[in-house]
A and B are shown apart, each in its own frame.
Chain A
Amino acid sequence: MSDLRDDIRRVFEQGIGRGDERVIDELIDERYINHDFPDAPPGREGLKQVGRAWRAAFPDIAFTLHDVLVDGDRVMTRGTFTGTHRGDFNGIPATGRRVEVAWMDMWRAADGRFVENWVRIDMASMLSQLGVLPAPAAPAPA
Chain B
Amino acid sequence: MAGPDPRTLYPRLLAAMNARDFAAAEALMAPDAVNHTPIPGEPPGIEGFHYRMGVLTQAFPDLRFVTEGVVSEGERIATRGAIEGTNSGSFMGAPPTGRPVRVPYIDLLRFVDGKMTEHWVQADFVGLMQQLGLAPSPTA
Report the Cα distance A119→B80, complex, angstroms: 9
Assess A102 versus B40: contact at CB under 8 Å? Given A71-B71, A74-B71.
Answer: no
Contact yes or no, A122 B69, CB < 8 A? no
Interface size on B, residues (CB 8 A): 31
Across-interface contacts of B42 in A (CB, < 8 A): 138
Interface residue tally on A, bucketed by range: 20 to 34
Chain A interface helix/strand/loop/mixed = strand
Contact yes or no, B126 A69, CB < 8 A? no
Report the Cα distance A138→B41, complex, angstroms: 6
Contact yes or no, A69 B140, CB < 8 A? no
Across-interface contacts of A75 in B (CB, < 8 A): 71
Across-interface contacts of B140 in A (CB, < 8 A): 39, 90-91
Assess A106 versus B106: contact at CB under 8 Å? Given A90-B140, A138-B41.
Answer: yes
Q: List 30 A-B contacts (CB under 8 A).
A: A36-B104, A39-B140, A67-B76, A69-B72, A69-B73, A70-B71, A71-B70, A71-B71, A74-B69, A76-B71, A78-B108, A102-B37, A103-B122, A104-B107, A104-B120, A104-B122, A106-B80, A118-B80, A119-B106, A120-B104, A120-B105, A120-B122, A120-B124, A124-B125, A137-B41, A138-B38, A138-B40, A138-B42, A141-B37, A141-B38
Chain A residues packing against B (C-beta within 8 Å): 36, 39, 67, 69-71, 74-76, 78, 90-91, 102-106, 118-124, 127, 133, 136-138, 141-142
Chain B residues packing against A (C-beta within 8 Å): 36-42, 69-73, 76-78, 80, 104-108, 120, 122-126, 135, 138-140
